[in-house]
Structure 1
Amino acid sequence: IKNPADYKFDVIYSGQVAPNPSELLMNGRFDDIVKYGKANYDYVLIDTAPVSLVTDTLLISDSADITMYVVRANYLDKRMLAIPKELYQDNRLKNMAMVVNDVDFTKEYGYGYGYGENHNKGNSFFSKLFGKK
């Protein structure tokens, strides 16, 4: 596909939704595409459906070097965070990272960028979110 504007990347679109996507992911062709991508590009990004909706993400997770779990602030039902919490605790996704987007920094949440004492030393974001230290 022709690159949009001056960006230096290529895109492979998913095409039509197949009646048997899980079977297609397991036939070996997906692994071939990922191997080609890793050999010919600096980065290969694979956008998948949320893990809670389909199992395809877990099927292809072995091909990933890192998994970014993206959530939208003030949109995602906080009860849904139990899913990435369990995946993180069970180490089911490699090098899992969480990205929180659309954060409104004009509101006060109790966190900031200023200097001062840290009363929660040793408690990372993930340890607070997932109960790990």
Structure 2
Amino acid sequence: MSQIMSGDAQLHAAVLRAAAGAAKDTPGVAFLRPGLGELLRGTVARSTGTGSGARPGPGTVSRSGAGSPSPSGRGGRVPGVRADRGPGSGPWRIRVHLAVRRGHRALDVVRAVRPRVMSAVQETLRTAGEAPPEVAVTVTVTDIT
């Protein structure tokens, strides 16, 4: 993977935040599902944390950022959202992994999330001065809670 320049990294982080915010605000979404990498990073952060052996309490965010909606963790990651861009000014590909609240149909939630995420990402890119971007959104339901 090539190294991302500072301006590109900021744009990438803004895209991740926009996608995560739009997805989480959709009715029926319980939470964004962190991937295995975020879960492992969170475990490592807790085990190498302060040395007290205490686990973080409720509301405490691990150093990995796995519980955080912002990409403040390593590598500008947002749990449950991945974004990459094709070569040059190619299309953005957004992947969202989420859990659906019990009582909501997964298909209905996915149909609601996709356009919200697409619109939020396109608005973020327009605000950043990007040409009208092509955005593809894939939503995967990983759990029903």
TM-score by length of 1: 0.25
The structure in which a higher percent of residues are strand is 2
- Based on CA coordinates, which of the two structures has the bigger radius of gyration? 1
Bigger relative contact order, structure 1 or 2 (CA pairs below 8 A, ≥6 apart): 2
The structure in which a higher percent of residues are helix is 2
